[in-house]
């Protein structure tokens, strides 16, 4: 009786091992991944994300091309600055401008100027 009980315990322990294995941690999604599918709302109009910048201006952000292209404006009616990223998680690059997302913040760097940091507004 003892050997069958020990055998049952060892089989039970082996069956429980996969449940004890360490689960891989999920990586935080990048802004590009989050917005990969929201280039437009159901009406067909582009979805606009608002950011408040430390230079007291509002930044209007549109994501396109599965999150690999971003359009930036400081006025809803102004022409946009278009930036692209070569792949998910990398900075967006345009002519003399680089934009990097980190959480709910975007940092905009232009040569010869101080970086501008903008925080996403809750809508």
* Residue 68 domain-assigned (yes or no): yes
* Residue 72 domain-assigned (yes or no): yes
Domain interval for residue 88: 31-120
* Residue 60 domain-assigned (yes or no): yes
Q: How many domains does the chain have?
A: 1
pLDDT at site 26: 61
Long-range contacts of 52-57 (CB under 8 A, 24+ apart): 52/118, 52/119, 52/121, 53/108, 53/116, 53/117, 53/118, 53/119, 54/116, 54/117, 54/118, 55/116
Each residue's pLDDT tens digit, 47-83: 899 999 999 999 999 999 888 999 999 988 899 999 9
Each residue's pLDDT tens digit, 80-98: 999 999 998 999 999 999 9
* Residue 42 domain-assigned (yes or no): yes
pLDDT at site 12: 47
* Residue 22 domain-assigned (yes or no): no
* Residue 71 domain-assigned (yes or no): yes
Look at 37 and 84; give whichever has higher pLDDT: 84
Domain CATH code at residue 37 = 2.40.128
């Amino acid at each position: 009786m003892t050997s069958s009980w020990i055998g049952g315990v060892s089989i039970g322990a082996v069956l429980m091992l996969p449940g004890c294995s360490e689960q891989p941690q999920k990586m935080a999604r990048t802004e590009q991944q989050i917005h990969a599918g929201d280039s437009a709302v159901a009406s067909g109009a582009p979805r606009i994300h608002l950011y408040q910048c430390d230079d007291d201006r509002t930044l209007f952000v549109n994501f396109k091309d599965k999150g690999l292209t971003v359009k930036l404006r400081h006025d809803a009616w102004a022409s946009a600055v278009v930036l692209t990223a070569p792949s998910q998680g990398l900075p967006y690059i345009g002519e003399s401008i680089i934009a990097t997302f980190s959480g709910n913040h975007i940092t905009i760097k232009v040569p010869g100027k101080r970086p501008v940091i903008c925080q996403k507004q809750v809508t």
